[in-house]
Amino acid sequence: MISGQCFCGHVRYELSGEPKFACHCHCESCRRAAGAAFVTWVTFAGDDLALTSGTISEYRSSPGVRRGHCAICGTTITYWWDKRPEEIDIALATLDDTTGIDPSAHIWVEDKVPWLVINDGLPQYKTTISAGEPA
């Protein structure tokens, strides 16, 4: 069982399955939602997520996208995309233990902040991996 929480501890959750994929997203929406240079997401089956305390407030940030956060402290927690209804993305840094979950790519690099240098050797994509556009 993988567990996690928001900054203030109001929202706690458990994930029953195995992570499918993890990546660093540099899109403008993620940057603005989190107030950070990028957000690292880890993908699970949507049914794997169970809240154990609190509630996640959701915001429709763009057509087909719901972003979840703690209504008390504002921590970014979830990302649901209607094009992948069977999956949910969890902000990796909200997990209690991130050991063994290593991001494997950078996406939306065309939106990255200009002062960030990416030199970790991971593949970089202009937009999404499914678009297959190397940066």
| CATH number of the domain residue 51 falls in | 2.170.150.70
Determine, yes or no, domain membership for 118: no
Examine residue 130 and state whether it is found in any structural domain, yes or no: no
* Residues in a beta bridge with 88: 44
131: pLDDT confidence band, cut at 50, 70 and 90? low
> Total domain count for the chain?
1
Count Cα neighbours of 16 within 13 Å in the Cβ-side half-sphere. 7
Q: Is the pLDDT of residue 128 over 90?
A: no
What's the mean per-residue pLDDT of the chain?
A: 94
The answer to whether the CB of 21 falls within 8 A of the CB of 122 is no
78 in a structural domain: yes
38: in domain: yes
Tell me the CA distances in angstroms from 32 to 84, 86, 102, one per residue in order: 22, 25, 23
User: Per the domain annotation, does 114 fall within a domain?
Assistant: no
- Nearest residue to 4 (alpha-carbon basis) of 57, 51, 59: 51
State which residues form the domain around 40: 2-104
Among the residue ranges 90-94, 97-101, 130-134, the one predicted with the least confidence is 130-134
pLDDT of 134 reads 67
Residues 85, 95: Cα–Cα separation, whole Å: 22
Smallest CA-to-CA distance from 12 within 21, 3, 20 is with: 3
In a domain, 126, yes or no: no
Per-residue pLDDT band for 93 (boundaries 50, 70, 90) equals very high
Look at residue 32 and tell me if it is in a domain: yes
- 3-58 pLDDT, tens digit per residue, is 999 999 999 999 999 999 999 999 999 999 999 999 999 999 999 999 999 999 99
Residue 131 lies in a domain: no
* Of the candidates 94, 48, 52, 49, the residue with the CA atom closest to the CA atom of residue 73: 94
